[in-house]
Amino acid sequence: MSSEKQYEDQPPPYPDGSQPGPMQPQSLMPPGPVPAPQAAPAHQVNVMPGPVCVQSTVCYGEYSMAIQCPHCHNTVNTRITHQTGLLTWLVAGGIFLVGGFLGCCLIPFCVDFCLDVVHSCPNCNQQLGVYQRLH
């Protein structure tokens, strides 16, 4: 009976009579060359403090810059104009709430520092991008 009990606690023997060894890790990759990693897409937009990238991969700032126009393909210095943006309205609202309701709340609409900057091509007049001071 004691030999029967030992036999029940052990697994059955292997058919070829070999003993099990440590398991070998198996690769999940198919044999052959390893594919090279793919590059990131070219139209990736990164959000960082400072100039804000809008409408393309070029980061526009508050000043005119040399760029190749994607529309007419000429290398030009961008023409900049200013337009009201979120910062303009927030500053005007803050001045109004503090007591500048007698017209002082209109000052941010006249100060370039509070306005967004629009970059355009001087040759074909196409808008190239916008620098938003606050978005």
Show the tokens assigned to 122.
Answer: 């001087």
Cβ-Cβ contacts under 8 Å for 82 (sequence gap 6 or more)? 112, 115, 116, 117, 118
pLDDT of residue 65: 92
Local confidence band at 12 (pLDDT 50, 70, 90 cut-offs) = confident
Query: Is the pLDDT at 81 greater than 80, yes or no?
Result: yes
Q: What is the mean pLDDT of residues 64-85?
A: 93
Q: Residue 42 pLDDT more than 60?
A: no
Q: Is 87 exposed, middle or buried (0-12, 13-18, 19+ CB in 10 A)?
A: middle
Q: Where are the domains of the chain?
A: 52-135
Partners of 116 in beta bridges = 83
Is residue 135 over pLDDT 70? Answer: yes
pLDDT score of 44: 57
Helix (H, G, I), strand (E, B), or coil: what is residue 16? coil
pLDDT in tens, 19-35: 666 655 555 656 666 66
Number of Cβ atoms within 10 Å of the Cβ of 125: 10
